[in-house]
């Protein structure tokens, strides 16, 4: 088939790559590929850390996609950081939040090791004062910029839609979908910082500091990514002084060695959020598919999304949890 993928973020690129591997003639149309939400993302592959009440389907999809990541990363030649994630609470109130996540994960049957403050410091000496923690051994990380660069080398990219008429069009434009799908996704701003640190944590560290959620994701080269604000808004995503201040304050309490880190970048992008926080992957009209709306989970869900989308195009198979028709025509599937 001749397939146009509109949008060169991690989702569009992953879909295009999978479809190319299956023998289709694919072009990705994007005048500035790899510069949207994927460019800001920290790259946590974190189904357990991101698990939330009422979002069991999101967690299940995350677990399925996380299982694909080791071979996916190897095939792309990108580094998969597999040191696990520490979930840390700073004060007594934050410890309650850690315990609440632990209870949620226990209910889902997820492996998580409770750690007291001494055990936490032994595992991660860069931590500041911590009241409670959990080791999430299955939550890993990749560098989304490395993944996007690898995918861009493997697909055909063009700035504008070619004149030829395709057999299938995949809309993968994240939080900015064309009508009539534009109302299905809203932007939820995330501000994120990148710094260079001589004494970075060994693990991905996420947690709460006086109720403020924050994560610190180390890269092998000493870069640390600090994120992220979460803000519903109706304006273009910009970095705000308040957002940067909240992130820095929380991150430096969690990992005090960040105090000496060199601030390299502050960036804001919109997460593409759907009303039920599940993505849109499937056919929406004759010859048109969506692969969008991945909210906080675009990097994690990229390999699974690519498979689901390709299966849908090739075999008409519909995964009910992500079928866009649940929102377009509730009660019906395509």
Site residues for ligand GLY, 254-273, by CB under 6 A, read 271
Q: Tell me: does residue 252 bind ligand GLY (CB under 6 A).
A: no
- The secondary element (H helix, E strand) that includes residue 291 is strand 288-292
Contacts of 47 (CB under 8 A, 6+ apart): 59, 62, 63, 65, 66, 110, 138, 139, 300
Buried b (16+ CB within 10 A) or exposed e, 100-116: ebbebbeeeebebeebe
Q: Tell me: does residue 17 bind ligand GLY (CB under 6 A).
A: no
Q: 28 or 134, CB closer to ligand GLY?
A: 134
Q: How far out from the chain centre does Cα 240 lie?
A: 21
By the 8 A CB rule, do 31 and 9 touch? no
Given 190, 237, 282, 293, the residue binding ligand GLY (CB under 6 A): 190
Q: 289 or 295, CB closer to ligand GLY?
A: 295
Given 28, 66, 105, 228, the residue binding ligand GLY (CB under 6 A): 228
Q: How many Å apart are CA 300 and CA 167, to the nearest integer?
A: 28
Q: 229 or 312, CB closer to ligand GLY?
A: 229
Q: In whole angstroms, how close is the CB of 49 to ligand GLY at the nearest point?
A: 9
The token pair at 212 is 């403020």
Count of chain residues binding ligand GLY (CB under 6 A): 6
Q: 228 or 325, CB closer to ligand GLY?
A: 228
The token pair at 111 is 């492996």
Give strand pairing partners of 208: 89, 213
Given 3, 6, 28, 44, the residue binding ligand GLY (CB under 6 A): 44
Give the binding site for ligand GLY (CB under 6 A): 44, 190, 227-228, 271, 296
């Amino acid at each position: 088939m001749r397939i146009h993928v509109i949008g060169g973020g991690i989702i569009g690129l992953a879909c295009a790559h999978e479809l190319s591997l299956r023998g289709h003639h694919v072009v990705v149309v994007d005048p500035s590929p790899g510069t949207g939400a994927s460019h800001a993302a920290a790259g946590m592959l974190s189904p357990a850390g991101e698990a939330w009440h009422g979002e069991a389907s999101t967690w299940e999809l995350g677990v399925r996609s996380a299982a694909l990541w080791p071979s996916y990363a190897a095939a792309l030649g990108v580094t998969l950081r597999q040191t696990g994630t520490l979930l840390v609470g700073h004060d007594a109130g934050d410890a309650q939040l850690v315990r609440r996540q632990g209870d949620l994960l226990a209910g889902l049957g997820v492996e998580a090791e409770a750690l007291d403050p001494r055990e936490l410091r032994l595992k991660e000496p860069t931590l500041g004062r911590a009241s409670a923690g959990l080791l999430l051994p299955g939550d890993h990380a990749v560098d989304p910029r490395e993944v996007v660069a690898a995918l861009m080398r493997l697909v055909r990219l063009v700035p504008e839609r070619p004149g030829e008429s395709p057999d299938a069009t995949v809309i993968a434009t994240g939080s900015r979908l064309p009508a009539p799908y534009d109302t299905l996704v809203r932007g939820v701003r995330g501000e994120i910082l990148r710094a260079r640190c001589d004494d970075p944590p060994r693990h991905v560290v996420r947690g709460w500091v006086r109720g403020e959620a924050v994560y610190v994701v180390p890269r092998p080269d000493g870069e640390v990514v600090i994120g992220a604000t979460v803000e519903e808004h109706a304006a273009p995503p910009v970095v705000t002084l308040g957002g940067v201040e909240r992130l820095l304050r929380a991150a430096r309490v969690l990992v005090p060695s960040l105090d000496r880190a060199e601030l390299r970048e502050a960036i804001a992008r919109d997460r593409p959020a759907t009303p039920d926080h599940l993505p849109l992957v499937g056919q929406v009209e004759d010859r048109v598919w969506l692969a969008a709306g991945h909210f906080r989970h675009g990097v994690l869900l990229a390999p699974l999304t690519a498979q689901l989308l390709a299966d849908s195009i090739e075999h008409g198979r519909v995964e009910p949890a992500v079928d866009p028709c649940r929102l377009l025509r509730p009660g019906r599937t395509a």
